[in-house]
């Protein structure tokens, strides 16, 4: 029996509707939630992503501005601009689109953003809050994954989750969130020896490597939940994930598609974080 789809696009629409309602409530109190997006350079993918983020914000009533700077911008100029936005009470969220030009230290740039406005959830203070279960901003992609698990009523308590991908953006935060729900978590990567032995034990598999077909049907326990975070292109140039979708969907119990899975949820959680930043500032 084929796996059931976790429709990220439909769930994201629900979340955007909730954000829109809460945004209108804030506006009625005289507060306009606002997001500042900074893009340095002319990376084509970044241009597409930032355009979507601005459109998503506008559609839900958030005010979003996109500041574009040339790749030759000096790092100290970028840091100065971020500090100015930190001090602006009319700006509730700040997002610096990655990747940055090679002459810039992405870690230093992110750490310059005020934790109160770190709606991407990448600041070390946000990571620390996640680690100890304190209020903070969860990174958008793993937060979206957790919302997808929640949407199907999946109880993670006592389950074994395998996260394939050790990056600070997805892998490690995802593991912390799963642990917070009392799951047992194993973090792997594409070069893990006998990865198949690990994934066959898993009730939940999160694939976030950025490599096509890193997870195939023979690596999945029947009935497992598979969340595909990957963004790749196939031989025909079409968007695909890290999972061999055609094969794995015949074994898994639930699976996310690419496109239409984690991607829309990542963008939706950015809206949620921006709105929550505005709500906190208005208290």
| Residues 110 and 139: beta-carbon distance below 8 Å | no
- Written as six digits, the tokens of 118 are 């770190």
CA distance 221 to 52: 36
> What are the strands, taking DSSP E only, across the chain?
4-5, 34-40, 63-69, 93-96, 160-164, 184-188, 204-207, 225-228, 232-233, 239-240, 254-255
DSSP 218: G
- CA 154, 230, 177, 110 torsion-angle sign: negative
Nearest partner of 154 among 215, 209, 221, 205, judged by Cα: 205
From the candidates 97, 117, 172, 249, give the one annotated as an active-site residue. Answer: 97
Instruction: Please tell me the number of Cα atoms within 13 Å of 281 on its side-chain side.
Output: 26
| Residues 75 and 109: beta-carbon distance below 8 Å | yes
| Residues 256 and 228: beta-carbon distance below 8 Å | yes
From the candidates 56, 118, 120, 228, give the one annotated as an active-site residue. Answer: 120
53 belongs to the catalytic site: yes
| Residues 139 and 118: beta-carbon distance below 8 Å | no
Neighbours of 184 (CB within 10 A): 15
- For residue 46, what are the contacts with CB-CB under 8 A and spacing of at least 6? 39, 97, 98, 99
4 belongs to the catalytic site: no
3-class SS letters over 17-62: HHHHHHHHHHHHCCCCCEEEEEEECCCHHHHHHHHHHHHHHHHCCC
Residues assigned a catalytic role:
53, 97, 120
């Amino acid at each position: 029996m084929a796996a059931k789809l976790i429709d990220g696009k439909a769930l994201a629409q629900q979340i955007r509707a909730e954000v829109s309602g809460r945004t209108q409530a804030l506006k009625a109190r005289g507060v306009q939630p606002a997001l500042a997006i900074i893009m340095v350079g002319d990376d084509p993918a970044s241009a597409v992503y930032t355009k979507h983020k601005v459109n998503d914000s506008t559609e839900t009533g958030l005010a979003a501005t996109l500041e574009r700077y040339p790749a030759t911008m000096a790092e100290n100029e970028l840091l100065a601009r971020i500090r100015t936005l930190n001090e602006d009470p009319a700006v509730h969220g700040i997002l610096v689109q990655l990747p940055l030009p090679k002459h810039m230290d992405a870690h230093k740039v992110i750490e310059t953003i005020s934790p109160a406005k770190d709606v991407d959830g990448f600041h070390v203070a946000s990571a620390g809050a996640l680690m100890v279960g304190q209020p903070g901003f969860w990174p958008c992609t793993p937060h979206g994954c957790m919302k997808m698990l929640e949407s199907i009523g999946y109880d993670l308590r006592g389950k074994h989750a395998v996260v394939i991908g050790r990056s600070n953006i997805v892998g490690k935060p995802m593991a912390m969130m799963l642990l917070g729900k009392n799951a047992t978590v194993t973090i792997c990567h594409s070069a893990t020896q006998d990865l198949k032995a690990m994934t066959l034990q898993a009730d939940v598999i999160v694939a976030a490597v950025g490599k096509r077909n890193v997870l195939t049907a023979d690596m999945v326990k029947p009935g497992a939940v598979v969340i595909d975070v990957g963004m790749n292109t196939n031989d025909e140039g079409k968007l695909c994930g890290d999972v061999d979708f055609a094969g794995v969907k015949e074994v898994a119990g639930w699976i996310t598609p690419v496109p239409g899975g984690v991607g829309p949820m990542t963008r939706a959680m950015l809206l949620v974080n921006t709105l929550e930043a505005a709500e906190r500032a208005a208290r």
